[in-house]
Chains A and B, each alone.
Chain A
Amino acid sequence: MARVDYQPTILSGGENRSDDQIMAAHAEKTVRRVSGPGLPGMKGEGEPLVIMELLQRLRVKDVMRSHDIASVVRTDSMRYAENLMKRYHISGVPVLEDNRLFGIVSINDIIIALEGEWIGDQCQKHMSTNLVVLEEDMPLAFAIKYFQNYTFGRFPVLNKDRNFVGIVSQRDVTRVLMHELTNELARLEGKVVAPPVEAKGEGALPYYSMRQFVVVHNDLTNAGKAANEIKRMMKDAGMENKIVRRVAVAAYELEINICIHSVGGTLTFILERGKASIVAKDRGPGIADVDWACRDGTSTANDWIRSMGFGAGMGLANSKRVSDTFEIVSKVPNGTTVICGFNL
C-alpha cells in the first residue's frame, strides 16, 4: 500500500479578529510539516508488519465520529458552550456554521472565561482559532502521530472541500483499533497450523509448520524483514546453512518483488517433513508475459527502485535458480502466485 506524505493543517487565528479575518484564515491555511507516520515505541526489526499495514489501511474517516456531535455557532455564548460540555461530558466544542469550522471552544477557554468573567460573551470572541485538523483520507498512522506530537485530546476532521465532517479522539482510535486488531488476529490464527506435539523437541525440525507475513506495497523500509525472519526460524530449527541460505534468498527476492511490483500481498513459509516451501501471493496487477519476466535482466522497475539496490530484473530468475521446484501462475489484473519448493 502506497504511503502518501500528508501534512498537518493548522487553521491559524487569534482572539478579537473579525469574521472576515477568521474566514481568510480558514481559506488560507498555514501548513507546517511534522515527521512521518512512525510509531512510538516501535522501532527496528521487531515492528509487526500486520500492525503497520493496518495503520496504513485504516483511514481517519474509519475511526472518526460524524454523528451526534455537539457544536455551537459563533454567536452562541460561552455559557452555552460550557453547558454543552457539562451535559455531554466533553472537553471541547467545535464552532460550526454550514459545516464550516470557525474554531473550537475548549475547556481551557471556558476556565479563562469564568476567571475573566466574560462567560456571557459570544464564542467568536474567545474561541480557539489556531487549530490543527486532520483530513478524512489520511491513514490512521498520521492521526496517531498527531496525538503524539500535540497535546490535544481530539482533532476536528475536514474533507477535501475543507468542510467539517467529524471529530476524532484518542478513545475513538483505541476503540476501532482494538476491534480491527481482534479481527486481524483471528484471521491470522486461522492461517497458522501448529506442529503436532510429537514432532516437537530440542533442536528437532518441526513436522509441519506454517507462517504467513504481510508484504506492503512500496514499503521498502520493512521489505526483507519476512525473509530475515524465515532465515532465523530455520537456523533456530538447526537446519543446514546451505539450505537456509537458498530458502532465504528465494524468500527475499519474492518479498521484494511483492513490495515493488504489486499492490501488496503475502509471503508464506511452509515447513513439512522433507520439504520447505515459500509461497508468494499478491493481489495484482499480474504479469502479462510470465516467460519474459522470468528471464535474467528483465524488469519494469523505475529509477527509484533501482536507487534502492533492486530492479535488476533478477528476482524471479534468482528464486528459480535456488529452488528445487518452481511454479508461477499469474493473471492480469488478479495477481501472481509463486511457489518455490526445497527438498530438505
Chain B
Amino acid sequence: MTIPDIVKTLDGTLVAGGESERTVGSVVANDLMSDVLLNDGEDMLLLTSLASDQAIRTANIVGAACVVVHNAKPLPQTMCQVADTLGIPLVSSPLSKYESCVRVHDFLAAEGKA
C-alpha cells in the first residue's frame, strides 16, 4: 500500500509532508501516543484522531510511513509544518477511524497482506 493508495482508499487529501515512495508495512489505529510507541512494526501507517504536532513527532520516533487524521478534523498549521520538516506524509480523511480501519484491511486483504 503506497501513499497514493492510502489517499485514494480513504477518500483523503495529502496535506503535508510531500510525496513518498514508501509502502506500508504495519498499521496502528490509536490516539494514545504511548500506545503507538509500544508498537515495533516497521513503516507504520498511523490512523489517529489526534490533530496535533505530537502525532507527527511520535510518528517520526517510530519511523512511520504516513499519518492519517480522521473526521476531516482541522489540522493546526504547526502540525503541517512539523510534517513538512520531518518529511512524514500527512493525510486528512473525512472517514471515521473505524471506517478507515475497515477499508485499509480490505485493501491489504486484496493484496494478500492482511
Q: Which residues of A contact B (CB under 8 A)?
A: 43-46, 220-221, 223-225, 227-228, 231, 241, 245, 248-249, 252-253, 256, 308-310, 312, 314-315, 318, 321
Stretch at the interface among B2-10, B31-39, B96-104: B31-39
Which of A221, A309, A318 lies in contact with B55, CB distance below 8 A?
A: A309
User: Using a Cβ cutoff of 8 Å, how many contacts connect chains A and B?
Assistant: 74
The distance in angstroms between the C-alpha atoms of A182 and B85, with both chains bound, is: 29
CB closest residue in chain B, given A242: B40
CB closest residue in chain B, given A306: B32
Known: A43-B81, A309-B32. A220 touches B54 (CB 8 A): yes
CB closest residue in chain A, given B55: A309
Known: A223-B54, A245-B61. A252 touches B31 (CB 8 A): no
- The interface residues of chain B, by DSSP majority, are classed as helix
Q: Is there contact, CB below 8 Å, between A225 and B32? A: no
Q: Is there contact, CB below 8 Å, between A228 and B61? A: yes
Q: Is there contact, CB below 8 Å, between A252 and B63? A: no
Known: A44-B85, A225-B57. A309 touches B38 (CB 8 A): no
Q: Residues 37-60 of chain B: 1 if any A CB is under 8 Å from the residue's CB, otherwise 0? A: 110001000001010111101101
Q: Is there contact, CB below 8 Å, between B34 and A308? A: no
In addition to A220-B53, A224-B61, A318-B38, 20 A-B residue pairs with Cβ atoms within 8 Å of each other are A44-B85, A223-B57, A224-B54, A228-B57, A228-B60, A241-B42, A245-B63, A252-B37, A252-B58, A252-B61, A308-B50, A309-B31, A309-B32, A309-B52, A309-B54, A310-B32, A314-B32, A314-B34, A314-B35, A314-B38
